[in-house]
Amino acid sequence: MGRGRDGFRGPMLGAVALGLGLWGCSAPGAGDEAERSRAEVMPQVQLAPDDRVPHEISVAGTGVAFRMVPVPGGSVDGRPVEPFWMATTEVTWEHYLELVLETSDRAAAEAVDGFARPSRPYISIDRGFGQQTRPVISVSARAAHTYAEWLSRKTGGRFRIPSVDEWRLAALAGGSSADASQAVARETAQGRSAPVASLAPNRLGLYDLVGNAAEWAQDAAGPVVLGGSYRDPRARLSPLMLETPNAAWNQSDPQIPKSTWWLADAGFPGIRIVAEALPAAATPVAP
């Protein structure tokens, strides 16, 4: 990457005195069943044929490169889902920090059509787990949407976070929850995130849909996180896990107003992007 990440890590992600004790705490409601919902019946999923191949995407001027795989259209409980593209892994810290670094200067950020920039976190927002190829965590739905918008601006593609039905179609991969469950967070027992793609992908080529970081998705009623995370017991992890954000996720943030980018008390939400259209410069690769 070579763009001052080490310099950023200290002032931007280093713990400030007010929040020094927060990164090790668990999120409020971690054991509260009322804060979670889990479907009793596995959704009925159907996939359509699809002859598209994966594509590699590089973001000019950054160290960001990632792969998108085609997810066939189909249906979830009879609801139609159009074909789309999904990133093989969750967004990592080394990728997300490119957005933060590029927009850290207010004048530079505002020069790009008023593009909003993430605020400075006041705690060690990676929870002490490490950065690099681990999934970005502690981010709000706004941060997830902004990252997708930033990618779209940088590449000419059309990126966003998935809908709940899109995410579940990809996770169930043709009706088999076992495929998706291959990618549970391997460090769950230690209560910390792990580098992405450490285990086998599901049969669509997607890693870590279940576990590691929970992933933002868009429901008709608003944003939710899906798939569970490193904090959940392995036996509980499922593609059906869904959590709805609430004020407790950022309750201990002393800033006025509270950050709309970083979550002081919820260290588990992360980001996976989908695309309606890939950039023109995307490169086809063998499956």
Residue 213 has pLDDT above 90, yes or no: yes
Average pLDDT over residues 59-80: 92
Q: What is the pLDDT of residues 144-172, one digit of tens each?
A: 999 999 999 999 999 999 999 999 999 98
Share of the chain above pLDDT 90, in %: 43
- Taking 50 as the threshold, does the pLDDT of residue 7 lie above it? no
Q: Is 17 exposed, middle or buried (0-12, 13-18, 19+ CB in 10 A)?
A: exposed
Average pLDDT, the chain: 77
Burial of 221 from C-beta contacts in 10 A (0-12 / 13-18 / 19+): exposed
- Name residue 71's beta-bridge partners: 84
- Strands 55-58, 65-71: pairing is antiparallel
Instruction: State mean pLDDT over 257-284.
Output: 91
Tell me the average pLDDT across 121-139: 76
pLDDT surpassing 90 at residue 86: yes
Contacts of 195 (CB under 8 A, 6+ apart): 132, 133, 134
What pLDDT sits at residue 127? 65
3-state SS of 53-81?
Answer: CCEEEECCCCCCEEEEEEECCEEECCEEE
**What is the Cα–Cα distance from 280 to 287, expressed in whole angstroms?**
19
Name beta bridge partners: 79.
76
- Lookup: tokens for 253: 């943030």
When mean pLDDT is compared over 84-88, 233-237, 248-252, the highest value belongs to 84-88
pTM for the whole thing? 0.79
Q: Which residues of 5-16 are buried (b: 16+ CB within 10 A; e: fewer)?
A: beebeeebbebe
Residue 114 reports pLDDT greater than 70: no
| Mean pLDDT score, 35-61 | 78
* Confidence grade of residue 25 (pLDDT, cut at 50, 70, 90): very low
Q: Quick one: pLDDT band at residue 254, thresholds 50, 70, 90?
A: confident
